[in-house]
Amino acid sequence: MNTRQLIECVPNFSEGRDMTIIKQITDEIESVEGVKLLDVDPGKATNRTVVTFVGEPEPVIQAAFLAIKKAAEVIDMSKHKGEHPRMGATDVCPLIPVANISMEETAEWAHKLGRMAGRELDIPFFMYESAATSPQRRNLATIRAGEYEGMAEKLKKPEWKPDYGPAKLNPKAGATAIGARDFLVAYNVNLNTTSERRANSVAFDVREQGRVKRSGDPITGEIMRDENGEPLREPGACKAVKGIGWYIPEYGIAQVSMNLTNISVTPVHVAFEECCKSAESRGMRVTGSEIVGLVPLKVMLDAGRHFLQKQKWSTGVPEEELIHIAAKSLGLDDLTPFDPKKKIIEYKMADENANPLINMNLRSFANETAKDSATPGGGSISAYVGALGAALGTMVANLSAGKRGWDDRLEEFSAWAEKGQKLKDTLLRLVDEDTEAFNQIMAAFRLPKESAEDKAARKKAIQDATRYAIETPMRTMEAAFEVFELAETMVKEGNPNSVSDAGVGALCARAAVHGAWMNVKINTGSLADKELAADFLKKAEAIAKQTDEAERRIVKLVEEKM
């Protein structure tokens, strides 16, 4: 499981007709290492282009800054015409948390971008949504009211002093809103009907806005209104969902087309289930669904867990299986094949050449280890043996969760299986990381040593790499030690037919701890900071001692139960 922080940036530029201008802007984005350009969507009528790119926070805000700067150079707002509301060359630039980062952290990065752009560029910047500095500025429409043509006068008012940059309009670049908002998923649910009207009825049941209330007949009756003359509405089942029904001639079916504006409030699987309920109540059936664009990995993992829970089955299964269950349960293959590598942001971002060892088959991995090269070595093998130990404990947890007559303990064993999967994935990552740590040491030794500066830089690089080569097996020791709690619980509480499997898992964990300990010891000898080296050794020895005690205890329990 990937743990790096990812944010998405979706800037809207006020140019949708001249592709040479658009390319100059996207070239700036692609010039930043660590950023992946996912989509460029120009609109001629709106004269506006929506660009989507993703990466870790630092490179994303650097790419966003360069794009805003370039847009200010190549777009002249005084000559801009288009159907979409707009106020600047870069009209809006939202940051969206995708993986392993909170909305609060994302808002902080938005402010970092705002400060940088406000300092370097002669453009007024307003912060909106979760990055807003006041409640009045949360809504983008409020900030943009009056558009480019009215912004010069608006900026003269004290209450509209920008958050960053000058309190005057840039005649050429206009003004820009920078924000942090939730991820929006475009999601369509397929129905076994060709009726747009009937699809709309499902959409009205599901969307937050619901439907207008009518007196008498719900279709032909008179619209009911409040004391201000506003139509009364019957809210739908799902908050943060917009939706409408339409007919797609290409597929010969009607769909409920939805925008899920906050997947923390209404996840994809909840919207799907509500469509199923509504369709069934109206004599229709949902045949599948489609995700338009990309989704974060969490969307698929949460859906997979939801459907496994509905099946009264353990959720402690591998990531790949969770995605498979989600795709099949949501019917994502109904219209076109669903390819996780193309539809999940983290997978699309992944380096195909990363993790070369754990992506090998068993024979290839063994052959690679047997070659006359130093890697993969004992550290990688220790991590892999630990992963096997975690996998065995997880297997027993899953077998226990599915044991006939143990239905009341499903949730308990499922939780243990999920913990085991996390430990397994952590240790699998450490297989390649240990080899990378060794490679960094070798790279440091190959650095030039001609001048005094060269020698100093080389010495520092060697020490930094050596510390990393100690910290990596230390993490293997820590993760492998956690396997004992899983293994011991499964020996005591798990399916008695698999007690020996849990025992073997504990033996694997011991081998992993002691193997990684050897790597800690051999590398601390090269660490110049002897006090730090002693701390590493003391910590490692304590883990090894606790490991031996846990292994003896578990083996004794296994022998008693066999």
pLDDT digits over 311-363, tens only? 999 999 999 999 999 999 999 999 989 999 988 988 887 766 677 898 899 99
Q: Please say whether the beta carbons of 479 and 424 come within 8 A.
A: no
Are residue 149 and residue 231 in the same domain, yes or no? no
pLDDT above 70 (res 545): yes
pLDDT above 80 (res 71): yes
Classify burial at 244, counting beta carbons within 10 Å of its beta carbon; exposed 0-12, middle 13-18, buried 19 or more.
middle
This prediction has a pTM of 0.80
Containing domain of residue 524, as a range? 362-561
Are residue 129 and residue 21 in the same domain, yes or no? yes
pLDDT above 70 (res 217): no
Q: Which of 165, 180, 195 is the last residue of a domain?
A: 180
The reported pLDDT for the residue numbered 468 is 95
Q: Please say whether the beta carbons of 265 and 239 come within 8 A.
A: yes
CATH of the domain at 200: 3.30.70.670
Are residue 195 and residue 174 in the same domain, yes or no? no
Q: Which of 148, 164, 180 is the last residue of a domain?
A: 180
Q: How far apart are CA 403 and CA 407, in angstroms?
A: 7
Which are the catalytic amino acids?
84, 434
| Per-chain mean pLDDT for the chain | 93
Are residue 162 and residue 198 in the same domain, yes or no? no
Q: Which of 323, 349, 375 is the last residue of a domain?
A: 349
Are residue 150 and residue 232 in the same domain, yes or no? no
Structural domain count, the chain: 3
pLDDT above 90 (res 4): no
The reported pLDDT for the residue numbered 220 is 64
Are residue 135 and residue 220 in the same domain, yes or no? no
Are residue 123 and residue 222 in the same domain, yes or no? no
CA triplet 241, 243, 248: central angle to 5 degrees? 145
The reported pLDDT for the residue numbered 227 is 80
Compute the chain's Rg from CA coordinates: 29
Are residue 258 and residue 331 in the same domain, yes or no? yes
Are residue 63 and residue 212 in the same domain, yes or no? no
Bridge-based pairing of strands 176-180 and 125-129 is parallel
Are residue 434 and residue 325 in the same domain, yes or no? no
Are residue 150 and residue 195 in the same domain, yes or no? no
